[in-house]
Amino acid sequence: MTKARAIAAVNAMKAMGIPVEKVKTVLRNLLQVYENNWEYIEAENYRVLADAIFEWEESQDNVYAGKAVESDELQYRRPRARYRQDDHPLSPLKATSHLAGETSLKRPRLEADVSFKGVSERDTGISSERAGRTSPHIYLKEKKPLNQTGEACQALVPYRKDKQPTLEKMEKKHNRDTGFFNLVRPKDEPCDYISPVFETPIAMIPPSQPFPSGKIGHASNHGSLKSYSNLQNINMGTTRDVERKNDESCFVDACNKVTAPVADSARNKAATSEILSVQESSSRSTVDIASSDLGEVKLTFSCSSDRPNFHIPNLESVFKQVEDKCLKSYKILEPSFSLANLMKEMCQCYRDLSYVTTGDKQENSLQIIPTVDSVEQHTVEQDNQNEKNKKMKKAKYLVQSQHTLAELGPPHDINDISKGEENVRISVLNELTKEKYPPTFHYIPRNIVHQNAYVNFSLARIGDENCCADCFSNCLAAPVPCACARETGGVFAYTSGGLITKEFLDEYISMTCEPKQHNFFYCKDCPLERSKNEISTEACKGHLVRKFIKECWSKCGCSMHCGNRVVQRGIMHQLQVFFTSKTKGWGLRTLENLPRGAFVCEYVGEVLTNTELYDRTMQTTRKARHTYPVLLDADWGSEGTLKDEEALCLDATFYGNVARFINHRCFDANLIGIPVEVELPDHHYYHLSFFTTRKVDAFEELTWDYGIDFADIDHPVKAFRCACGSKFCRDNHHSTGPSEAV
């Protein structure tokens, strides 16, 4: 034992109120297990050590109580919290050695709930019918009352038969059907009760009807949200009961055990660390998220107050107040918004993020594997396989519910993929392989805000200088160009034939394809880089400043047939989605000859903030074929620091139009994307509109240069191996390896 390291460990534990002798005993054993590898013991502020000490203490308690923790009567069912230490190759959970009967490192103790086989109905007071299965598993935890600052205290102890009468009383006292199945208990629940386990995990049972705002506390059988509210009602009741009826030994034992404030906080610390916790140091609040490998998720938010006279408020008023606050402060304008839904959403997101996809697509399914820490290490291979299959099923269900519309939805209408949403029908054709349809997505003809993006189409935002209220009919026919031509230097960018003028197009193509250094803008605080990492933002890689076209709009006096309204009239040419090749997949082509400067379509998708896009991209598999999201950064240079909700992009992966099928071609693509302002004068949001760069023949594939830097390996969207076939192809790797298959 290195002396200095041992002293440091002892001091760290001392700060948590743990006596030196205890630390020494456990530390010695730990060092043996880890073969003197201090790193694992010191990691995360000696978390392993603290856990081991608590576990050792607990085993001691049980020995004194005449029961070994691991006795035959006790069968731990392991609804697992996400132990980060599990992941470690040398984690005690994976190590085969154990601590000579003193501390069971294989079972971090703070997963509070213990299930017991062989406990009879008489013992528990719960009938097996009520428990929902023939041999009920019981979960039990003991609690402490609230302390003066309103913090809940608790001790977690294994079940002992001699405490059964107290439990019966407790069960009778609450005598209501909670419908809550407590699989893992976060640390600060001021509650103590017995809950049955049902075959269907709580998180998988949809509420029978939407949870109405402010309407809480109804008795329910299986509704997960209602169950939470019931839990809290019971918690509050129980807490008060604990304070009142401290002659009930079950509670008293538990409370006495942790009365010393330091030991209490140490215990709580350890408890927190075993359940995924996020602590906000400034507000003294903790979010505990407990989950089991079946996908159950339970969320506990604990906060403490310095103010005296803490009392438990009415839960209904709390919900109401928070909902009001959210509506006012966070622009949550959704009428059905409710705090309960928000909490449900959080559990759902947690569940979704708990799985990663392999990306190996099978027909009509996505193969998904659980994250490493949710895979138990079984010794018997068969068990392992069964477990995996179960998890796969569950994971598949969860991930599909959010991200794999494409795998589940109905096939497209091959006569019109737009389902009648466009002016023209857009057919689908595959003459090369058996795939009849592209993967399903929602066809939308116009952009839709996903959630956080700030896109406010209000008339009040359009000043007189940004519209032509006095115009009539067709602005292009007026003797003097109106205010809407100001953006393009007082000259309209469209010809009377509805094409882009030669001058505008030539200049635009030259600026885009051969940009000079001065055409780039470098943000001081780049929203794109910020979205990748808020803590240490990298330098901006530069954004190409582009010219805009401004179209007339609803506040203008002209008609919908005005020549300065091209993009807003939508797709006018005959197009087809077709299967190009195994390498590039589906593509878009024109079925008619197109002149130079013709509008084809705009890129339509969900309007996301870059942070939302980054998070979304991080969730999807690295190997999956993405539609290529576009950044709306054409005017980032004209303002100072952009807020996250103003730095936007479009993602057509789940919701999009035909443009999501346009494949990339380096430099000499036949389409070019031009920013077009229609509704909003500020250029955070605009329509990325595709126009032909040259004459395009019928049946030619339409392509667009995505502007990918194939060398940028940090880009959130992984670049594909380019197979554009252009002699100017920028992807140096395209000939060196196999191309990405569909």
Ligand X SMILES: C[S@@+](CC[C@H](N)C(=O)[O-])C[C@H]1O[C@@H](n2cnc3c(N)ncnc32)[C@H](O)[C@@H]1O
The alpha carbon dihedral of 413, 419, 420, 423 has a sign of: negative
Q: Which two tokens stand for residue 587?
A: 């593509």
- Please choose, out of 175-183, 321-329, 549-557, 583-591, the segment that lies near ligand X by the rule CB under 6 A: 583-591
Position among 222, 660, 683, 684 found at the interface with ligand X (CB under 6 A): 660
Based on CB atoms, which residue is closest to ligand X, 190 or 585?
585
In the chain, count H helices and then E strands. 17, 23
Nearest-approach distance from CB 652 to ligand X, in angstroms = 7
Distance, in Å, from the CA atom of 267 to the CA atom of 293, rounded to the nearest integer, reads 24
Q: Which is nearer to ligand X, 140 or 724 (CB)?
A: 724
- 3-state class of 269 per DSSP? helix
Q: Residue 191 or 652: which CB sits closer to ligand X?
A: 652
Tokens found for residue 499: 């094409």
By the 8 A CB rule, do 594 and 498 touch?
Answer: no
Nearer CB in complex with ligand X: 14/623: 623
CA 374 to chain centre: 17
Pick between residue 341 and residue 692 the one whose CB is nearest to ligand X: 692
Q: Figure out which of the listed residues 616, 625, 683, 684 binds ligand X, where binding follows CB under 6 A.
A: 625
Q: Residue 652 and residue 410: Cα distance in Å, rounded?
A: 18
Closest CB to ligand X belongs to which residue? 585
Residue from 628, 636, 690, 691 touching ligand X (CB under 6 A): that is: 628
Give me the residue label for tokens 């933002």. 537
Greatest CA separation for the chain: 100
Q: How far is the CB of 617 from ligand X (least distance, A)?
A: 12
Task: Decide whether 354 or 512 has the Cβ nearer to ligand X.
Answer: 512
Residue from 40, 355, 494, 586 in contact with ligand X (CB under 6 A): 586
Return the structure tokens found at 337.
Answer: 């918004």
The one segment of 253-261, 325-333, 510-518, 661-669 that binds ligand X by CB under 6 A: 661-669
When binding is defined by CB under 6 A, the residue of 663, 670, 689, 693 that contacts ligand X is 663
- Three-class SS string for 152-194? EEEECCCCCHHHHHHHHHHHHHHCCCCCCCCCCCCCCCCCCCC
530 vs 584, which CB is nearer to ligand X? 584
Least spacing, CB of residue 623 vs ligand X, in Å: 10
Q: Which residues pair with 103 in a beta bridge?
A: 99
Query: Alpha helix (H) ranges present in 492-590?
Result: 502-513, 527-532
DSSP reduced 3-state for 706 = coil
* Only segment of 5-13, 122-130, 233-241, 621-629 that touches ligand X (CB under 6 A): 621-629
Contact predicate 405/654, CB 8 Å: yes
Closer to ligand X by CB, 85 or 627: give it.
627
Our finding on whether 626 is near ligand X (CB under 6 A) is yes
Q: Which stretch binds ligand X (CB under 6 A): 217-225, 428-436, 547-555, 715-723?
A: 715-723
Residue 386 is given by DSSP the state: H
Query: What Å distances lie between residue 340 and 151, 212, 226, 428, CA to CA?
Result: 22, 9, 9, 43
Part in contact with ligand X (CB under 6 A); list of ranges 65-73, 203-211, 462-470, 584-592: 584-592
CA distance 664 to 717: 14
By the rule CB under 6 A, 723 interacts with ligand X: yes
By beta-carbon proximity to ligand X, the closer residue of 468 and 724 is 724
| Residues numbered 396-455 forming contacts with ligand X, rule: CB under 6 A | 438
Give CA–CA dist 246/264, Å, rounded: 19
Among 627, 653, 689, 693, binds ligand X (CB under 6 A): 627
C-alpha 396/C-alpha 370 separation (Å) is 10
CA 546, CA 520: separation in Å to the nearest integer? 9
Residue ranges in 182-211 that form contacts with ligand X under rule CB under 6 A = none
Among 584, 616, 684, 687, binds ligand X (CB under 6 A): 584
Residue with structure tokens 């005449």?
66
Q: Which is nearer to ligand X, 116 or 579 (CB)?
A: 579
Cβ proximity to ligand X: between 163 and 664 the closer is 664
Smallest distance, ligand X to C-beta of residue 576, A = 14
**C-alpha to C-alpha distance for 589 and 697, rounded to whole angstroms:** 9
Task: Count the residues of the shown chain that bind ligand X, applying the rule CB under 6 A.
Answer: 19
Question: Which residues lie below 8 Å from residue 84, measured CB to CB, with a gap of 6+?
Answer: 44, 373
Q: Select the span of 125-133, 268-276, 296-304, 585-593 touching ligand X (CB under 6 A).
A: 585-593
Q: Does 724 interact with ligand X (rule: CB under 6 A)?
A: yes
The answer to whether residue 605 forms part of the interface with ligand X (CB under 6 A) is no
Contact status, residue 649 vs residue 630, Cβ threshold 8 Å: yes
Q: Which position among 553, 661, 685, 691 is part of the footprint of ligand X (CB under 6 A)?
A: 661
Question: Closer CB to ligand X, residue 276 or residue 723?
Answer: 723
From 530, 550, 664, 684, residue interacting with ligand X (rule: CB under 6 A)? 664
Map tokens 């719960």 to a residue.
Answer: 126
Question: Which residue number, 136 or 587, has a Cβ lying nearer to ligand X?
Answer: 587
Considering only 217-225, 485-493, 634-642, 722-730, which stretch makes contact with ligand X by CB under 6 A?
722-730
Smallest separation, CB 566 to ligand X (Å): 23
Compute the least distance from the CB of residue 482 to ligand X, in Å. Answer: 36
Of 370 and 585, CB closest to ligand X: 585
Q: Which is nearer to ligand X, 211 or 441 (CB)?
A: 441
Is 585 near ligand X (CB under 6 A)?
yes
The C-alpha atoms of residue 80 and residue 170 are separated, in whole angstroms, by 26
**Residue 583 sits in the site that holds ligand X (CB under 6 A):** yes
Using the rule CB under 6 A, which residue among 444, 467, 552, 722 binds ligand X?
722
Residue 267 or residue 584: which is nearer to ligand X going by CB? 584
In the shown chain, the binding pattern of residues 21 to 40 toward ligand X, with x for contact by CB under 6 A and - for none, equals --------------------
CB of 620 to ligand X, least distance (A): 11
Residues 6+ apart with CB under 8 A from 700: 589, 590, 670
φ, ψ at 176 (rounded to 5°)? -145, 155
Closest C-alpha to 671, from 708, 633, 700: 700
Nearest in space to 600 (alpha carbons), one of 412, 420, 423: 423
The rounded distance, in Å, linking the Cα atoms of 304 and 562 is 63
Nearest-CA neighbor of 660 among 447, 451, 512? 447
Binding residues vs ligand X (CB under 6 A): 438, 583-587, 625-628, 660-661, 663-664, 720, 722-724, 740
